[in-house]
Amino acid sequence: MDALEAILTRRSIRTYKPQPIPEELITRMLEAAMSAPSAGNEQPWHFVVIKERQLLDAIPKFHPYAHMLHGAPAAILVCGDERLEKHKGFWTQDCAAATGNLLLAAHALGLGAVWVGVYPHTERVALFRDHLGIPEHVIPFSLVPLGYADEHQQPEKRYNPARVHHNRWLTR
């Protein structure tokens, strides 16, 4: 699958087959995530790979939009490390780029995935820190449940020329 096909056909997948994900695929997705651009090449990220069923099943108890974890064989928590910042405040953009790459890599590798937001909800951040033993200088940013898709979502045409402005913002 080429890059444009992956971008244009990727969809949020929330139901998964119970089949485990090979470690090689997890590594490939993490390589893709860590290949994301970052401000000043600071790469302020850490990733927590979660496969333990008990840990996965506990997350929906404190995150209202993480119910799909009950069927996911794995998830990756993307975190930003304030100690690795060169350019204050850009860690969120860096982690968003890493999350996007992770989602695209999952799709290209034949897996389903969905972005579950954590940051900036301070309560969710604190609960993830407590649940997974994450230090205070590391901020949970996003959670990506993963698995072999047990549903099919049709690609959508999202291009909207009304949202494109050339040289200046002109009202149409």
Structural domains in the chain, sorted by start: 15-151 (3.40.109.10)
Distance CA 36, CA 115 (A): 16
Over residues 27-62, the pLDDT tens digits come to 999 999 999 999 999 999 999 999 999 999 999 999
Model's pTM, two decimal places? 0.96
Over residues 137-168, the pLDDT tens digits come to 999 999 999 999 999 999 999 999 999 999 99
Per-residue pLDDT at 1: 87
Say if residue 171's pLDDT is above 80: no
Over residues 2-35, the pLDDT tens digits come to 999 999 999 999 999 999 999 999 999 999 999 9
Dump strand ranges (E) for the chain.
Answer: 45-50, 74-81, 112-113, 116-117, 138-147
